[in-house]
């Protein structure tokens, strides 16, 4: 299909599903009697909303990975180190603004209205995608050209054209070990993030019993994460990324988290008692983790793809985006659920030990990835060679 057609098909397909879901819920919702939770219509509505949530988790990652693949293709490694962080910052701001508007839209139009607006906005984004590819085509750096050239070379081979997506993905990951290393690093990173999330929510529920107060605390907590992430994305990272090698940052993030999780699992190290870790300790570790994840790690993740070939930037990235992030969180949740089923409720102390173990695993995975990530000069050289050959 090529990257532009693939983007159009997936975007319009997802927008259509959101639109149809809006129509379905608008038909079902008025027929449900208030307070009814057992009728077939009520159950069907709940399952529809649950299915939509699962769908959202998948399609958001798929479409954003396609947009980032395009950006990775049109920027050089040096340009990407300057622009990736501010672009991530803009996406964070628009996400926050959209989240603020959901409540007001829901109050006026209901869930079906929110879904309808989402479908229109998502479908309309195709116009901007086409415009971006048009600008790239006009200025001679359209990533679709690389796809056409490669497709033309292999068109005589029927075997190549008939390869399944799984076979192509396997071949790409075998040929480019950096992708496999990045996939493993994402699994480890998301595992640590999930355990810290569970630990934080558990501690907050224990310390703050009032639901309203607890919701306010969590809202302020994530607002602080967004503010700190924006400071990094718009200020610190663009100013310092030119003077730091990506490999140093890949190693530095898990090393920092390993230190912080050690303080969480052994509170005495920070002057606390031998009991359960305090809320301040747990929240600080989770705050640093999410800030790194939203700012530094997101920039580094996208920079990995810039000097790679077309298939690595598009196919490899989509596989990692859709499977890596979701599987990492799901695997950590399943492990915790299995341990709870086998040994009973896991206390805060035990959970804090898991955070240190997860941080250690992340450090090992990130260290292996850092050995495969090129320096800034090597990435620029590889990028120039790739462009000349294509």
Q: Which residues contact 325 (CB under 8 A, 6 or more apart)?
A: 61, 186, 190
- pLDDT tens by residue, the chain, 390 residues: 578 888 899 899 989 988 888 888 777 665 555 555 556 666 676 676 667 766 776 677 778 888 888 888 888 888 887 888 888 888 878 877 777 777 777 778 887 888 888 899 999 999 999 999 888 888 776 665 565 555 555 444 444 444 566 788 888 888 999 999 999 999 999 889 988 988 998 899 888 888 778 878 887 888 888 888 888 988 888 888 778 899 999 999 999 999 999 999 887 765 555 567 888 999 999 999 999 998 899 889 888 888 888 788 878 887 887 777 777 777 777 777 776 666 666 778 888 889 999 999 999 999 999 999 988 888 888 777 777 765
4, 8, 315: which is closest to 143 by C-alpha? 4
pLDDT at 344: 61
Give 244's DSSP letter.
Answer: S
pLDDT per residue as tens digits for the range 189-246: 988 998 898 899 889 988 888 877 887 888 788 888 888 888 898 888 888 877 889 9
CB-CB neighbours of 127 under 10 Å: 9
pLDDT at 152: 53
Residue where the block lists tokens 């996400």: 95
**Angle (deg, nearest 10), helices 296-305 and 77-138:** 60
Q: Which residues contact 71 (CB under 8 A, 6 or more apart)?
A: 80, 84, 87, 302
In angstroms and rounded to an integer, the radius of gyration of the C-alpha atoms of the chain is 23
Tell me how many degrees the CA angle 120-126-127 measures, rounded to the nearest 5: 100
pLDDT at 158: 42
Using CA atoms in the order 186, 187, 188, 193, what is the torsion angle rounded to 10 degrees?
Answer: 80
Compute CA distances 135 → 139, 142, 159, 200, 306, whole Å: 6, 8, 34, 46, 19
Give 273's DSSP letter.
Answer: -
CB contact at 8 A, 168 and 319 = no
CA distance 67 to 136: 13
Which DSSP string do the residues of 235-279 spell out, in sequence order?
IIHHHHGGGS-HHHHHHHHHHHHHHHHHHHH-GGGGT--SSSPPH
Q: Where do the DSSP E strands lie in the chain?
A: none
pLDDT at 144: 59
pLDDT at 269: 67
Compute CA distances 375 → 307, 310, 320, whole Å: 11, 20, 22
CA distance 238 to 232: 8
CA-based end-to-end distance of the chain: 19
Compute CA distances 330 → 59, 126, 173, 327, whole Å: 17, 31, 22, 5
pLDDT per residue as tens digits for the range 48-97: 666 776 677 667 777 888 888 888 888 888 888 788 888 888 887 887 77
Residue where the block lists tokens 């985006």: 321
pTM: 0.74
CA distance 45 to 51: 10
């Amino acid at each position: 299909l090529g990257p532009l057609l693939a983007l159009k098909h997936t975007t319009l397909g997802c927008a259509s599903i959101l639109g149809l879901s809006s129509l379905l819920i608008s038909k079902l919702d008025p027929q449900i009697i208030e307070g009814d939770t057992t009728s077939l219509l009520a159950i069907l509505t709940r399952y529809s909303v649950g299915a939509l949530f699962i769908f959202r988790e998948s399609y958001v990652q798929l479409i954003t990975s396609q947009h980032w693949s395009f950006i990775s293709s049109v920027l050089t490694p040096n340009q990407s180190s300057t622009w990736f962080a501010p672009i991530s910052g803009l996406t964070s701001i628009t996400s926050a603004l959209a989240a603020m508007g959901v409540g007001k839209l829901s109050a006026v139009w209901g869930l079906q209205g929110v879904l309808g607006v989402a479908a229109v906005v998502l479908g309309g984004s195709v116009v901007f995608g086409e415009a971006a590819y048009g600008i790239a085509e006009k200025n001679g750096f359209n990533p679709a050209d690389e796809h056409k050239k490669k497709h033309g070379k292999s068109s005589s081979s029927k075997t190549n054209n008939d390869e399944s997506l799984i076979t192509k993905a396997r071949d790409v990951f075998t040929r480019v070990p950096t992708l496999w290393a990045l996939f493993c690093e994402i699994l480890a990173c998301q595992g640590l993030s999930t355990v810290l999330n569970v630990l934080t929510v558990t501690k907050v529920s224990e310390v703050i019993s009032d639901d309203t107060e607890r919701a306010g605390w969590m809202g302020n907590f994530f607002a602080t994460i967004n503010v700190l992430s924006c400071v990094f994305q718009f200020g610190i990272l663009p100013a310092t990324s030119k003077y730091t090698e990506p490999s140093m940052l890949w190693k530095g993030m898990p090393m920092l988290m390993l230190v912080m999780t050690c303080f969480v699992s052994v509170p005495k190290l920070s002057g606390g008692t031998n009991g359960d870790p305090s809320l301040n300790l747990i929240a600080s570790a989770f705050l640093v983790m999410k800030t790194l994840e939203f700012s530094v790690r997101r920039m580094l993740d996208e920079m990995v793809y810039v000097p790679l070939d077309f298939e690595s930037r598009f196919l490899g990235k989509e596989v990692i985006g859709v499977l890596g992030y979701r599987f990492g969180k799901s695997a950590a949740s399943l492990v915790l659920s299995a341990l709870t089923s086998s040994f009973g409720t896991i206390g805060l102390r035990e959970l804090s030990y898991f955070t240190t173990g997860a941080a250690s695993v992340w450090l090992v995975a990130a260290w292996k990835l850092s050995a495969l990530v090129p320096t800034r000069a090597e990435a620029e050289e590889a990028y120039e060679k790739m462009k000349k050959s294509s």
